[in-house]
Amino acid sequence: MRKVVFVGGSSYSGSTFLDLMLANSRDGFSCGEVSQMFYPFRQHHFNIICGCGDPECLLWHNIQRAGVDRLYDTIFELFPSVSYIVDSSKDPLWIQQRTKTLIRSGVGVENVLIWKTPEEYYHSCAKRGQERRWENAWINYHRLYFRMIDDWHAVRCADVVASADSLRLLCEQIGLPYFEGKHRYWEKVHHMLFGNHSAKRHLYQKGTKAYERSNKVQRDSFKKYADHQFSEVSHQAIVSERPSLSSKEGCRPRISPISEQIMRVLESQSIAPHKSQEPDKDQCRVTEIIDRLKASKAYEFRRRTRRDIRTRTMRLFMQLKNG
């Protein structure tokens, strides 16, 4: 049965490299953050560059012409050997909408939520100079995800980085093929769209235009690194990268009670090699916490309205700019 795996997660959570790892199979396909092609909100979303590194590749232009409702059907048609697609668009609004279409067409759906602890997420934001209101962003994403996605598997980013067993267990849970070395996603040509350049630069050999482009985007975004040398050393290696921030930055943020509740949910639902895979006796309690944490209908409506307005505004801006 053909299926689509949606990888969710707050920004800088590791969704891009997990997407690439899961799709690293002859019958897998990574489409990255494809929702941004149909709901663009930044200028670079209009500059469609295929992740394969070939500037002449028109794959995504052809898929875009087929339309959003035929997105996954078109990919399956263009790649007959593909039996599953990984989509790391992350947006719960997109995931819910696409899931309804897929279920009607008889395509299976799996949801994976990759997450970082509040301290890890703060670090990812701070090194990019985006630590303002970091906790609100982390909380709001997970509350909206809990509201809109019913069935999901969770995995902590640090566990995937530290142990191949976490990736193996996740593949077993969602019914994807696993083999030794599956984490070395750069050994396959991927056509993924957009996504985090910290992960994407591993796809390219040093010295190529694609590598230099991804490396430049990565370096420009890491505004507060004390040392950039790690990025060269770690090329084509999955490592935990925590270089020092400037001295004025705090290293351990204060965590609110609601963040602690979200952490409890994520930890209880996560797949990890050291964790017992026996059914959780306290699952009813976790379900109650999730229900309390879910975002309101009003928040969902505001997010949907803001997304649509932002997309229309950006399209109008680009028309005027290019017109």
pLDDT for residue 212:
86
Cβ neighbours, 10 Å, residue 3: 17
User: Residue 227 and residue 75: Cα distance in Å, rounded?
Assistant: 41
Spatial strand order in the sheet of 84-87: 28-32, 84-87, 3-8, 108-115, 153-156
Other C-beta atoms closer than 10 Å to the C-beta of 276 total 7
129's tokens:
């100079």
Contacts of 215 (CB under 8 A, 6+ apart): 197, 201, 231
Check residue 248 and give its pLDDT: 46
**How far is CA 245 from its chain centroid?**
24
Please, which residues bridge with residue 225 across strands? 245
| Chunked mean pLDDT (size 10), the chain, 323 residues | 96 95 97 96 92 92 95 97 97 97 95 96 87 92 97 95 92 96 95 92 88 82 57 65 50 81 94 67 82 96 95 94 83
Q: How many CB atoms lie within 10 A of CB 319?
A: 9
Query: Is the CB of residue 176 less than 8 Å from the CB of residue 193?
Result: no
Name the token pair of 207.
Answer: 């010295």
User: What DSSP state is assigned to residue 243?
Assistant: P
Residues forming beta bridges with residue 154, ordered by sequence position: 113, 270
Give the 3-state secondary structure of residue 288: helix
Helices in the chain by DSSP H: which ranges?
Answer: 15-22, 35-38, 59-66, 71-78, 92-104, 118-126, 134-148, 157-162, 164-174, 197-200, 209-221, 230-233, 257-269, 283-293, 297-322
Scanning 127-184, the segments in alpha helix (DSSP H) are 134-148, 157-162, 164-174
The pLDDT value recorded for residue 206 is: 86
pLDDT value of position 169 = 96
Q: Enter the tokens of residue 61.
A: 């232009």
Which residues does 3 contact at the CB level (< 8 Å), separation at least 6?
Answer: 83, 84, 85, 107, 108, 109, 110, 175
State how far the alpha carbon of 177 is from the alpha carbons of 4, 23, 83, 170, 174, in Å: 14, 9, 11, 10, 9
Q: How far, in Å, CA of 88 to CA of 55, rounded? A: 22
Q: Which residue has the tokens 């819910």?
A: 96
State whether residue 8 is helix, strand or coil.
strand
- The candidate with the shortest Cα–Cα distance to 246, out of 222, 278, 214, 220, is 222
- The pair of three-digit structure tokens given for residue 270, joined into one six-digit string: 């996560």
